[in-house]
Chains A and B, each alone.
Chain A
Amino acid sequence: MIPALKTSAKNGQSITSWEEDEYMDTLVEIQDVTKVIKGRTIIDSVSFDVKKGEVFGFLGPNGAGKTTTIRMLVGLIGITSGDIKILGSSIKTDFEKAVSHIGAIVENPEMYKFLSGYQNLIHYARMSKGVTKEKIDETVELIGLTDRIHDKVRTYSLGMRQRLGLAQCLLHDPQILVLDEPTNGLDPAGIREIRDHLRMLARDRDMAVIVSSHLLSEMEMMCDRIGIIQNGKLIDVQHINDFVQGNEKVYEVEVDDPDKAQRMLKSIYPELPIQVTENSVFLPLVRDGIPEMIKEFVRTDVKIFAVREVTKTLEDRFLEVTEFKGGAGHARTDSK
């Protein structure tokens, strides 16, 4: 569904290539955005695009600049240089138009506790053009709060508040959904619910969804693409599958004599990092290299019991990327 997008982000210079007609599908363009607060560069020329129907994950350790970037996206924080375009309208110069396409929850959805859920929605409905009573009822129905909507928000559980938050950002039928840490503080059932909602919205309504999180497992299940941010720099943007796997995959080969196998492999692929366990060897390979490798094993009379692909988790990959590309050595830097 989503055309493969080749994006290489190095020092914020993003080279993005696509075919002409896909221009229409790009809903959010973040162009070389920098934020400096009191002489400190919080965000350093970050650029990326988000397209229709895609869930874009924004991943990074605490304090890396996820929240700041998201707040710049919705106009809560000013942009020092660069620009953010929402459906072609700049958030800087054409705020009202740009923001009218966005629905957002920034961190926890704080509602007016002394108002009922319904009154909260009325409050926000009055602030957007053309939100009817029917639309409010419909949204309430969608997020499944119909029974409790006339109760005071004070009496809601965190999950219900989160759902009300979702209702609030869906009222004006936005094309872009921005969620900052949407699953913070939710129990597994709540997390799952939010995840299902997001997936459904992106798929059925063709919305672009931007989610930030530091929970890797979360992102793995929710997102189509993820951007990794560290120390204010966007260090990588990849498809979730490419990202998890990288270009090479690691294969585990179960053999009768691992030491012999290792000696043989060393002689053929001298620079490959090969790991040996009691009855198997691990080596990174591209898919096309597998038959060649098996041939070699057979030739040197090593018995093969199994060849398995080792799936890397997002976590492994994340730590790998933040360590190598960020240059900081540690994924966790200063906290918020």
Chain B
Amino acid sequence: MPGLIQNEWMKIFRRPGTYVMIGLLLIMTTVAGAFIKYQESGGTVPDNTEWKRGLQTQNESYQKQLEEMGEMVPRDMKEQYQREIALNKYRIQHDISPNEEYSIWGFVSDTSQLIEFAGLFTIIIAGGIVASEFTWGTIKLLLIRPIKRVKILGAKYITVILFGLMLLAVLFGYSALLGGLLFGFPEKAIPYLYYYNGTVQEQSMGLHLIAYYGLKSINMLMLATMAFMISAVFRNSSLAIGLSLFLMFMGGQVTRLIAMKYDWAKYSLFANTDLLQYYEGVPMVQGMTLGFSIMNILIYFLLFQVLAFYVFNKRDVSA
């Protein structure tokens, strides 16, 4: 198995396109850094002596709005306000100022937007890894080795995941490096506050960001799995890449639209891939829980894998 993964890795990294992808990711991070740096030097650090008062008034206004609107207030807005109020209260109680200076952590958190691009590149690799062997005609020589097809496909999938993780690591590492250089480290460690199940908890910033990247990449890994499945089933890389990218950009939106009207939207893959909604936002459909989403993700994952492996194993290679 390690040899097979090594083979796949070699086939990815002996093609110039791969370096273009990594290069693009680095360039985009650099541009983001330069842009933020430029903006920051124009602004001033906010006056933060009166922040407790500020939070207090903010809370009062939230409370007032909630009371005024009563039953009329939309569910997600209500939960959003409750979350804000709880966080603000916690800050006041524990003396944690919200006005932190922009530092490495802020930058790493901002560049997590680029995970979408890491996802895009992973999908491109995933969509091509099986289909290309068919278009190149190399599948024939690949499958007449004394290795079961399941192992070959397994190695390919593991390689896709490793490639995705590598892109994430590159993004995270480079952002941290660049952020450290451009914005420096904060003077004292500020904990990250999150609100889950009605209570507020503290977490170290570095740990939070790693978890944040991890949760954000679930969407990308699931779409890569889907692209891989389409690639293995239909032997068509354009279809695999096109469809997966379309769903990556549109899936969430469409699901959100459906979710406004129909409850069954919660069974859609895209309602569940964003696990951050349970920590930082509001679940797309009422009644969804973290466990439910994880279950859903697992079911979709198994579905994709079973399809890919079943079809690939049975396929007659005759072209």
Contacts and interface: CB of A to CB of B under 8 A. Distances in A.
Nearest to B6: A126
B144 A115 contact: no
Contacts of B314: 78
15 contacts: A68-B318, A75-B144, A78-B314, A78-B316, A96-B147, A104-B141, A107-B137, A112-B136, A114-B15, A126-B4, A126-B6, A127-B7, A127-B146, A127-B147, A128-B146
A135 B145 CA distance: 17
B144 A123 contact: no
B146 A168 contact: no
A113 to B, nearest CB: 8
B144 A99 contact: yes
Interface in B118-150: 136-138, 140-148
Contacts of A115: 10-11, 14
B317 A71 contact: yes
The 8 A-B residue pairs with the shortest CB-CB distance, nearest first, are A110-B137, A100-B146, A126-B3, A127-B145, A76-B317, A77-B316, A106-B140, A74-B144
Given A104-B141, A112-B14, 8 more contacts: A76-B143, A76-B318, A99-B145, A104-B144, A107-B140, A110-B138, A115-B14, A119-B10
A324 interface: no
Given A112-B11, A127-B7, A102 B144 contact: yes
A129 B138 CA distance: 20
A97 interface: yes
Interface in A112-142: 112-115, 119, 122-124, 126-129
A128 B145 contact: yes
Contact of A124 (B6, B140, B141, B317): B141
A158 B318 CA distance: 22
Contacts of A168: 141
Interface of A: 37, 67-68, 71, 74-78, 95-97, 99-100, 102, 104-115, 119, 122-124, 126-129, 165, 168, 172
Contacts of B11: 112, 115, 123
Interface string B32-75: 00000000000000000000000000000000000000000000
B248 to A, nearest CB: 27
Q: Which of A67, A104, A106 has the most CB of B within 10 A?
A: A106
Contacts of B3: 126-127
B7 A123 contact: yes
A77 B317 contact: yes
Contacts of A74: 144
A73 to B, nearest CB: 10
Contacts of A111: 138, 141
Contacts of A110: 136-138, 140-141
Contact of B146 (A109, A112, A129): A129
Nearest to B8: A123
Given A115-B10, A128-B146, A109 B141 contact: yes
A68 to B, nearest CB: 7
Nearest to A104: B144
